[in-house]
Structure 1
Amino acid sequence: MASHRRPKQPSRTRVTVLTATAAAAVALGAQAAHADPKPSKKDVKAQVDKLYEEAEKATEQYNGAKSKQETLEEQVSTLQDKVARGQEELNELRDGLGSMAAAQYRSGGIDPSVQLLLSSDPDSYLEKASTLDQVSSKQAAAIKQIGDKQRTLKQQREEASTKLTDLSATRKSLGEKKTEIQGKLAKAQQLLNSLTEQERAELAAKEEARAKEAQKRAERSSEDRPTDLGDDAPQSGRASAALAAAKTKIGAPYVWGATGPSSFDCSGLTSWAYAQAGVQLPRMSQDQANAGTRLGMSELKPGDLVIFYGDLHHVGLYAGNGQVLHAPKPGANVRYESINNMPFQFGVRV
């Protein structure tokens, strides 16, 4: 006779294990199906170039904050010195008024107005002093001088306090920009490390060949001077001197925040070059954009500043015949490059 027993059901533990295994298999399959492919060498280069551009933009903001910090530190130091000297002068004036009071006491008593001035709340007296007839002319002059000095000291202390607050915010901004730059450069390096050694070598060789080709086009092999930079002469002696100084730095590495003499960022090179010509340019490319007369591309002469990108975060020196001499980006050296390789905004004649 056939058995009517029900088939044995799998245990709950077995069901759980089977379900989990099946779910994991489905998840792994879906993950494999949707996994992003390894980026190509071309994709990596595009991403790295974008990160380098963003890092350079942040570098110019860092340069601006650093320049502001240096200015604020100098201003704060000057104000603090003024406050210290002013307090000494105030103390001397008060001592002199105290000597008057002592002399009055010896001669028959202290003037009531002087008693009030030497009280614990002299400021309230200063507002009333002009209405007191019994104050002698000499005492009135001393009291006025003390009042003026107190008001000056108060203003200087308030100004110093404001500057210190601004300095603290600037230092914070400086640290944030530094972190941002380092993060972008680290991410760029991480992307480069995702390539094979051969792919990295090919990219480096291509970058080096591009730099050499630009330099080859811009220099004679027989003379240490440009060939295809055209016959245009600089508009001024300072522009000529700045360009000549920058040419001596061809091959120097780009380093963010650097101002020479062995490494540069973009505005570091232009400010250093013009400093050799006796001209002090602002540190930041956006400020250098306002350091002279703006020019269209057809008006450029050798030695003029050339400003690139909509936010004005890159600057170089016009070398002639459509060539720019600049510090391009992290991982590249000071070199000549076509003005058309970047989005030109305007030139600046210093």
Structure 2
Amino acid sequence: MSVHRRPPLPGVQRLACALALTAAATGALGLTVGAAAAAPLAPADPSTRGEVKAQVDQLYEEAEQASEKYNAAQEQQKRLQGEAGSLQNQVAAGQDELNRMRGDLAAVAAAQYRAQGLDPSVRLMLDNDPAGYLAGARSLDQATARQNDALRELSDRQRRLDQRRQEATAKLAELEEVRQHLAAAKDEVRERLGRAQRLLNGLAPAERARMAADDARDAQQRATRGTDRLDLGNQPPSSDRAAAALAAAISKIGSPYVYGSTGPRTFDCSGLMYWSWRQAGVTLPRTSQEQATAGRRVSLAEARPGDLVIFYKDMHHVGMYAGGGVVVHAPYPGARVRYESVSAMPVSSVVRV
């Protein structure tokens, strides 16, 4: 397929194999759904195949929503693990310092007790050097004042240590809650993909292949507006880095969608944006919802190649604007990275990184 007004971009020819139909996604999830899971039925008529496709598409969208929840929980888990580890290290170091200070104070107190065993007036009378004794007494008073300061510092350190312990305990509890959310999101993805695979297994192999071909053709027509050429226009990217990120994303056309993946061979929607911008030297947030705040918002009419296009009200999907009303994105589980018309999904916002 040729490109009008812009040199051909790599990967366009691979749109014909746009769907791998959950093979990569179910492999990443560890699903064991195969031919034995459901015996193929007789070839379905187009209306039945259409109904199956509609249900599978819905399940894929729900799986992608759960996938972004999973990504968010994973990122939060990493952050909390780092914060909890830092707090625990602070508690351990603080406890060591506290123990050292207590040991020093105990030694000073013992020395003072031994030195003050006699009444000071008796010691003055018995001392061969009264002037020296008086000077020593003044030094002792100064030492006592320093000891009192040390006791106050010890008390403050104990208070701060107790506070750090409470923070570490709360952080660990929060981490456990996030782990539960992570497991729930993973189970939700598994469940949606499993249901989709069971629906597909209910079709004969020829029907599944026809669905894949139909989806590829539909995506190609949306991207090319029904012509045989992909017109990305001639508008330049917003920056050199945006150009590099777009080139990276385009180089991955044909790569399978796998939830939770950030490349370099498989991607989910936000993972493709994350990897592509990393190739341009920019680290984006991990999820589509966070990427929606990763730069300056512009209108869709102002979109330039390399901009992030956030889709749906809950912002669970993201693609990269390639020009001419077309995005490059990782569509959903079972599909491959491809070009798509920006109008194929409801746009929530456009972000210029």
Compute the TM-score of the two structures, normalised by the length of structure 2. 0.77
Q: Which has the larger radius of gyration?
A: 1
Counterpart of 1:238 (choices 241, 249, 257) is: 241
Structure-1 residue corresponding to 2:282: 279
Counterpart of 2:169 (choices 161, 172, 179) is: 161
Provide Cα deviations, 1:203-240, integer angstroms capped at 9, x if missing partner. Answer: 1222233456677889x99xxxxx62111111112211
Listed as ranges, the matches of 1:25-104 within 5 Å are 40-104=48-112
Counterpart of 2:344 (choices 331, 337, 341) is: 341
Q: What is the distance in 2 between the residues matched to 1:208 and 1:265?
A: 18
Counterpart of 2:191 (choices 171, 180, 183) is: 183
Asked if residue 172 in structure 1 is aligned to residue 175 in structure 2, the reply is: no
Provide Cα deviations, 1:170-197, integer angstroms capped at 9, x if missing partner. Answer: 0000000000000000000111111222
Counterpart of 1:206 (choices 198, 208, 214) is: 214
Provide Cα deviations, 1:16-36, integer angstroms capped at 9, x if missing partner. Answer: xxxxxxxxxxxxxxxxxxxxx
Instruction: Tell me the SS of whatever aligns to 1:260.
Output: coil
Asked if residue 294 in structure 1 is aligned to residue 294 in structure 2, the reply is: no
Counterpart of 1:105 (choices 113, 120, 125) is: 113
Structure-1 residue corresponding to 2:311: 308
Provide Cα deviations, 1:56-75, integer angstroms capped at 9, x if missing partner. Answer: 01111111010000000000
Q: Classify 1:150/1:109 alpha carbon distance in 2 versus 1 (closer, same or farther; 3 Å).
A: farther
Instruction: Tell me the SS of whatever aligns to 1:148.
Output: helix
Asked if residue 322 in structure 1 is aligned to residue 330 in structure 2, the reply is: no
Q: Tell me, yes or no, if the aligned pair for 2:223 and 2:326 is still in contact at 8 Å.
A: no
Aligned residues: 286
Structure-1 residue corresponding to 2:40: none
Residue type at the aligned position of 2:156: D
Q: What is the distance in 2 between the residues matched to 1:250 and 1:201?
A: 20
Q: After alignment, is 295-304 or 134-143 more displaced?
A: 134-143
Q: Tell me, yes or no, if the aligned pair for 2:223 and 2:341 is still in contact at 8 Å.
A: no
Q: What is the distance in 2 between the residues matched to 1:109 and 1:296?
A: 85
Residue type at the aligned position of 1:43: E
Q: How many Å apart are 1:139 and its aligned residue?
A: 0.9
Q: What is the distance in 1 between the residues matched to 2:60 and 2:206?
A: 22
Q: Tell me, yes or no, if the aligned pair for 1:69 and 1:170 is still in contact at 8 Å.
A: yes
Q: What is the distance in 2 between the residues matched to 1:261 and 1:217?
A: 30
Compute the TM-score of the two structures, normalised by the length of structure 1. 0.77
Q: What is the distance in 1 between the residues matched to 2:184 and 2:107?
A: 56
Structure-1 residue corresponding to 2:146: 138
What's the % identity of the aligned pairs?
52
Q: What is the distance in 2 between the residues matched to 1:203 and 1:146?
A: 73
Q: Tell me, yes or no, if the aligned pair for 2:220 and 2:339 is still in contact at 8 Å.
A: no
Provide Cα deviations, 1:95-141, integer angstroms capped at 9, x if missing partner. Answer: 1101101211221249xxxxxxxxxxxxxxxxxxxxxx999211111
Q: Tell me, yes or no, if the aligned pair for 2:220 and 2:340 is still in contact at 8 Å.
A: no
Provide Cα deviations, 1:290-335, integer angstroms capped at 9, x if missing partner. Answer: 1111121101000000010111100010000000010001111111
Instruction: Tell me the SS of whatever aligns to 1:136.
Output: helix
Q: What is the distance in 2 between the residues matched to 1:200 and 1:162?
A: 50
Q: Which runs of 4+ in 1 moved over 3 A?
A: 208-218
Q: What is the distance in 2 between the residues matched to 1:290 and 1:109?
A: 71
Q: What is the distance in 1 between the residues matched to 2:67 and 2:172?
A: 24
Q: What is the distance in 2 between the residues matched to 1:316 and 1:297?
A: 13
Q: Tell me, yes or no, if the aligned pair for 2:310 and 2:348 is still in contact at 8 Å.
A: yes
Asked if residue 263 in structure 1 is aligned to residue 266 in structure 2, the reply is: yes
Structure-2 residue corresponding to 1:24: none
